[in-house]
Amino acid sequence: MNNDKNLYCIAATFNTPDEIINAAKKVSGAGYTHFDVNTPYPVHGMDDAMKLKPSKLGFVTLVMGLAGASIALLFMYWNISVDYPLVIGGKPYFALPAFIPITFELTVLLATVSTVAAMIMLFFQLPDNKHPLHDTQYMKSVSNDKYGITIEAIDDKFNETEVENFLKKLNPLNIEYIYFPPVETYPIFQPKFLLLLAGIALVVSGGTYFSLNKLMFMTPFTFMMDQDKLIPQKGSELFADGFGMRKPVAGTVARGFIPYPYKGQVNPTEVLSNPFLPTKENISLGKEKYDIYCSPCHGYFADGDSRLNGQFPNPPTLHSQRARDFSDGMLYHIMTNGQNVMPSYESQISRDERWAIVNYIRVLQRAKNASDADLTEMNKEAGNNVAN
């Protein structure tokens, strides 16, 4: 016995799959438990011949599959039915059929990925580049066209001469002794290695910094950037003042923009009059815009009942005598120019919409302060409706 070498196993190789099945049957029949078979491809019937127990891998698949299914279902349920309920396509919040495809996908994904990962990492214990069978003549032949069986030295029944005689009786091509490779150590914290590591870090980070921040802005790479064109906000040598951008010609008006000449004036009422008749369409346009832009502060009925919970000063009611006495032009001017803390709405609401809002405010004011004449008028209309 060779004492300075540590025996891993005794290996035998055969020529045909039938021989290896027979060998596996004999070896497992003789009571060896720590043995393995290596073949170039899966040989049918090997599980039985080796008396292998059914793999436990299926349980990984089952558990991870169930995990995938429940994660998907619970997540979608919590997401769409509980935390942020959304109606999609008129379906109920918990629309099970719509959840099934994602549940199915996640079940399959988790089950398969974890099965493969568990098979490779837990069951095969890969990556392992120190396995004694590596780089042996045995492994070279069984990964090519031979069929091999190994009986490991850790087996309780293992006895070198007995095993060798036993394997010889099976008429193998050859028998090989495979030893553990000598343990090689690679101390990591050597000054030389650390220095190398630091050097590599320096070169990589420096190179990255240089190429991303400097190299990219050097001549051959900047060809596309250096173009003879005007770039907004950049200087240019084309014009005498050195600016790339030009001022518009005096009196230029932006597209769709009508300048308001009374900006900052107190009361331009006389010159402004409402160009729109209070028709149904115009009033409903005014209502729409009023509800969007004005109602947050002024309230839906212009009572000055802000919805902002005191985070912005409440405006006064528009039903006061003063407000009702404002001309249409004054209301338009306030919207356009702003008043006190109220900002200008010129940029948000178009000119025509502002006039429509004026019409709608008039409707609100009249509705809140209806006169007897209005009531008779209304009753008459109601009476007509009933009569009809």
Partner 1 sequence: MSQTDFHYQKKELPASLTKFALILLSIGVVLSLIAFFVDRERALFGYLVTYMMIVSIAIGSLFMVALEYIAGADWSTPIRRIPEFFSKLLPFLFILVIPLLIFNHDLFHWAHEEAVAEDKILQGKAPYLNITFFVIRTFVFLGLWTLFYWMMIKNSRKQDTTKDQNLTTKNIRLSAIFIPVFAISITFTAIDFMMSLEPHWFSTIYGVYFFSGLVVAALAAITLAVIMLKERGYFSPWMNDDHLFSLGALIFAFVNFWAYIAFSQYLLIWYADLPEESFWYLTRWNGSWAYISILLIIVQFLVPYFALLTQPSKKNPKRLKFISVWLLLAHFVDLFWLIMPNMNSMKDGYTFSWIDLVFPIAGVGFIILIFIMSYKKDNLLPIGDPKLKRGMDFHL
The binding site for partner 1 (CB under 8 A) comprises 44-45, 47-48, 54, 58, 89-91, 97-98, 100-101
Closest distance to partner 1 from the beta carbon of 111 (Å): 12
CB nearer to partner 1: give 98 or 170: 98
In sequence order, what are the beta bridge partners of 14? 147
Closest distance to partner 1 from the beta carbon of 337 (Å): 53
Closest distance to partner 1 from the beta carbon of 18 (Å): 9
CB nearer to partner 1: give 108 or 121: 108
Closest distance to partner 1 from the beta carbon of 87 (Å): 13
Query: Of 305, 295, 281, whose CA–CA distance to 345 is shortest?
Result: 295
Q: Which residues, 6+ apart, have CB-to-CB distance to 295 below 8 Å?
A: 307
Q: What share of the chain is helix, strand, coil (3-state, %, to 5)?
A: 50, 5, 45
How many whole angstroms separate alpha carbon 329 and alpha carbon 75?
57
Residue with tokens 């005007």: 230
How distant, in Å, are the alpha carbons of 13, 161, 167, 313 from that of 172? 6, 16, 7, 99
How many whole angstroms separate alpha carbon 196 and alpha carbon 201?
9
Closest distance to partner 1 from the beta carbon of 100 (Å): 7
Closest distance to partner 1 from the beta carbon of 98 (Å): 7
Structure tokens at 5: 């070498």
Closest distance to partner 1 from the beta carbon of 51 (Å): 14
CB nearer to partner 1: give 92 or 296: 92
CB nearer to partner 1: give 44 or 246: 44
Give backbone dihedrals phi and psi of 153, rounded to 5 degrees, phi first.
-70, -15
CB nearer to partner 1: give 29 or 316: 29
| DSSP-assigned letters across all residues of 138-187 | HHHHHTTT-EEEEEETTSTT--HHHHHHHHHHT--SEEEEEEPPPP----
CB nearer to partner 1: give 31 or 42: 42
CB nearer to partner 1: give 58 or 199: 58
